[in-house]
Structure 1
Amino acid sequence: MNPFFTTDITTDIFARLPAKSAARCRTLSKQWSSVLSTQDFAELFLTHSSTRPRLLFAVERNGLWTFFTSPQPQSSHSPVVTAEFHTKFAGDVSRYLCSYASGLILFPDVWIPSKSDDTNPVVCNPVTGKYATLPYLSIYRKSRAFLGFDPVGKQFKVLSEDRPFCSQSDHHQVLSLGEELSWRVKDGPQYDHCVSEAICIEGVLYYLAENFSDPRVVVRFDVRSEEFEFIEAGCFSGEEVAVKLINYKGNLAGVEWKYVKADDEKIVLELSLWVLEDVEMNEWVKSVYVLSEEKIVRRCNFSVAGMTGGGEIVLAMDYTTKPYYVFFFDPEKNTLRGVEVQGFGDKLEALGTRGRVRVFVDYVEDLNVHDGKQLKSSISAPVK
């Protein structure tokens, strides 16, 4: 260590670096490695990283995923941000969307030519390119898979559900990410099939499901205890309305959005926000907002990406284009601000070669997800 800096000062400096830089510094000195590999440093790094959340962009084109991050503007003083390229990942052949939790992404069906002739679920770190290939799911029906994270035990788990449901006992399977990778059958509640993406809030996975002839339910899966529970969610039974489950200030909520005609016959975007305020009573409270911003109405290809820790609903364009916009809507202040995101590259921004975009809010770099025991393989070079 530098004799002019105490260990506390040195570790605080390292904790303010990007995750890739901090990880690289571990390899430069045995003394640095001993300090930067401790759990105390990982917690300090996460504390600093949490003060600068970012937007994570996953752009897919012809099975090739390209990952970018950008600053997540906290005010209207940043009308333009630049996306930083990180890695590319090829081989996703699933018709289902990827699942995200605490900095890692799960691809449900990936073919890696150098590894196997079969497709497997893969968990990857989109910034570093580290990944783990999960065992093949020994089921003959199409399945959905969701990634969850237990913040107490620092444990990632994958939950798989068969689709469509049948009476067999292997409807749900669970895998813990770590040294030994194996699926285990988990008894769970009976329902028809999942109809939404999952969200992980404070160690609990939630997703919306059809419940046979009954109204829809939210399936609640505790990542730590691996226990299931149903939450009545008949408010989301509209077939023609898109639904996104979000983290509303620590509570589960859902956003529905659709384009409607206003009283003056103009097309506007209507957002319906349902917040689960009382879990025991299954009480959902609804608020409706109307957005008439021309950039949103004219393009008509926006989706809800999530809600920031600051309480803003994020709407992002579904496909890369030039210009590309992300909007932040504050339901308490009823204000809307737009941010242009640059840097996806000419190829992805061209009309004939544009990519499909998934946006994840409040992305925070966490050294715990750089653990080599969890993600052992690495993309040696970006795919061209």
Structure 2
Amino acid sequence: MERESNKESLPDDLILEIFTRLPSKSVARCRTLSKHWASTLRSPEFTKLFLASSSTRPRLLFAVERYHCNEWFFFSSPQPQNQYENSLPLEYHTKFLGDVSQYICSYASGLIYFPFVRIIDVNTPLICNPTTGMYAGLEVRKYSRSRGFLGFDPIDKQFKVLDFLSVLTVGSGEPGWRHKDVSCGPYHRSPTAGICINGVLYYLAETFIEPSFLIVRFDVRTEEFKFIDASCFNDHIQHPTGLSLVSSKGKLGVINCNYADADGKRTIELCMSVLEDDEIQEWVKYVYTLPQNEVLGSCEFSVAGVTATGDIVLCMKYICKPYFVFYFNPKKNTLQSVEIQGFGTKFEAVENRGEVHAIVDYVEDLSLNDAKQLNSSISDIKSLCSCCQQKGKLNYIGEEA
């Protein structure tokens, strides 16, 4: 008893500092230990501390889609801290089964949005936290088969889904889908992914009457639309998937790749156009020829994005062994190859390989665990896998991939 009474408890600020160094899913588990820990680890003070700490260690998030069995797996790895790192470990987070439509997932501020997931024979929009495995089903908009995009307002801390000209605020308790009256000629969305930058959602669209590209700009907070001329990309009108929308130091960028043969080797040229001023709609174009790399010169790859430090990140499109991510520094004209280790033989076999959708500068944010937004375990519902027509569970954190 005397020994117990002499024990000194750790100061609260030190305890909070320790918890900021844990992964978000570990913090989420600790919140369930008691009311005291739930209150402490949900406090605005700790949430801000955790986000500040997490922002110093951004990661590369991998969403791996396996078509043949309708599975999505989520992994992440550290981003290299210096030019000498050539191998980094991979951490598995969670997965779920579901008949996902042809519409690709959308990402904003730590959450993934799927416009249509078949759950118990019902198509529903679904939003989930890829590191904790928490999810929330959203209201289905009638007569909609468009893909939809997820946006985040950093001021009011609200997520909103934009489906053509209809808007849904996530977890607010407000009425469902709200239609916005916007004066604009008819257009349809291109199959490229949208991107949310500092509370503004951008996506590529194509006009109907005279086919031409435009950028749709949607302010998530004010819900105001703006249409930006993007006819400078009309050379890709037949193959819009060759264009990737990225954030270039807080500004919208559009990247496409060109290829040429030089002495029997493939030369890769990156063309990046940056919207320097969306008021006067000024685009500035940059062209970079990548240093020769044997692996990159022979594989299929996609543009994952641009890091906060300015590196353009390219990822191998399909999982294989070895699997590489490439970091190109435009200022230094250097190309760093980093092998990502840890997918495992289940994914590396050719017959099982999945397509990789990567997201740069992924930061874990505990405010995303708010119960109003992510209120259930993904293991609580069942799905019908269309390829095998057998019932299976949507899987939660901790299950082996």
Q: TM-score, normalised by structure 1?
A: 0.91
Kept after mapping to 2: 8 A contact 1:205/1:222:
yes
In the aligned structure 1, how far is the partner of 2:206 from the partner of 2:258?
21
Aligned to 1:146: 149
In the aligned structure 2, how far is the partner of 1:377 from the partner of 1:354?
30
Aligned to 1:251: 251
In the aligned structure 2, how far is the partner of 1:137 from the partner of 1:245?
26
Once the 2 structures are TM-superposed, how far is the Cα of residue 377 of structure 1 from its aligned partner?
2.1
Q: Structure 1 residues 3 and 237 mapped into 2: Cα distance closer, same or farther (>3 Å)? A: farther
In the aligned structure 2, how far is the partner of 1:325 from the partner of 1:133?
34
Once the 2 structures are TM-superposed, how far is the Cα of residue 179 of structure 1 from its aligned partner?
5.0
In the aligned structure 2, how far is the partner of 1:179 from the partner of 1:211?
33
Helix, strand or coil: the match of 1:81? strand
Kept after mapping to 2: 8 A contact 1:191/1:209:
no
Equivalent positions of 1:168-317 (< 5 A) are 172-180=165-173, 182-188=176-182, 189-195=184-190, 196-212=192-208, 213=210, 215-239=212-236, 240=239, 242-262=242-262, 264=263, 266-291=265-290, 292-299=292-299, 301-317=300-316
Kept after mapping to 1: 8 A contact 2:104/2:147:
no
Deviation digits for residues 72-111 of structure 1 (CA, Å, limit 9, x no counterpart): 1122222111111111111143111100011100111101
**Which of 26, 37, 42 matches 1:21?**
26
Aligned to 2:383: none
Equivalent positions of 1:90-101 (< 5 A) are 90-101=97-108
**Unmatched 5+ stretches in structure 2:** 1-6, 380-394
Once the 2 structures are TM-superposed, how far is the Cα of residue 347 of structure 1 from its aligned partner?
1.4
Helix, strand or coil: the match of 1:230? strand
Q: Structure 1 residues 378 and 4 mapped into 2: Cα distance closer, same or farther (>3 Å)? A: closer
In the aligned structure 1, how far is the partner of 2:325 from the partner of 2:186?
35
Q: TM-score, normalised by structure 2?
A: 0.88
Once the 2 structures are TM-superposed, how far is the Cα of residue 355 of structure 1 from its aligned partner?
0.6
Percent identity for Structure 1 against Structure 2: 54
Once the 2 structures are TM-superposed, how far is the Cα of residue 265 of structure 1 from its aligned partner?
5.5
Deviation digits for residues 234-259 of structure 1 (CA, Å, limit 9, x no counterpart): 22112246111111011111111132
Once the 2 structures are TM-superposed, how far is the Cα of residue 143 of structure 1 from its aligned partner?
0.7
Once the 2 structures are TM-superposed, how far is the Cα of residue 34 of structure 1 from its aligned partner?
2.3
In the aligned structure 1, how far is the partner of 2:185 from the partner of 2:8?
63
Counterpart of 2:227 in structure 1: which amino acid? F
Counterpart of 1:317 in structure 2: which amino acid? M
Once the 2 structures are TM-superposed, how far is the Cα of residue 4 of structure 1 from its aligned partner?
4.2
In the aligned structure 1, how far is the partner of 2:264 from the partner of 2:341?
34
Aligned to 1:165: none
In the aligned structure 1, how far is the partner of 2:278 from the partner of 2:74?
36
In the aligned structure 1, how far is the partner of 2:273 from the partner of 2:261?
22
In the aligned structure 2, how far is the partner of 1:186 from the partner of 1:281?
24
Aligned to 1:64: 71
In the aligned structure 1, how far is the partner of 2:179 from the partner of 2:115?
18
Helix, strand or coil: the match of 1:12? helix
The runs of at least 4 aligned residues of structure 1 exceeding 6 Å deviation read: none
In the aligned structure 1, how far is the partner of 2:56 from the partner of 2:322?
28
Kept after mapping to 1: 8 A contact 2:59/2:78:
yes
Once the 2 structures are TM-superposed, how far is the Cα of residue 214 of structure 1 from its aligned partner?
5.7
Once the 2 structures are TM-superposed, how far is the Cα of residue 372 of structure 1 from its aligned partner?
1.1
Count residues in correspondence: 367
Kept after mapping to 2: 8 A contact 1:92/1:107:
no
Deviation digits for residues 295-338 of structure 1 (CA, Å, limit 9, x no counterpart): 11111x10100011111010001110001110001112111101
In the aligned structure 2, how far is the partner of 1:20 from the partner of 1:190?
45
Helix, strand or coil: the match of 1:100? strand
Relative contact order higher in (CA < 8 Å, ≥ 6 apart): 2
Cα RMSD of the aligned pairs, angstroms, is 1.7
Is 1:156 aligned to 2:153, yes or no? Answer: no
Helix, strand or coil: the match of 1:296? coil
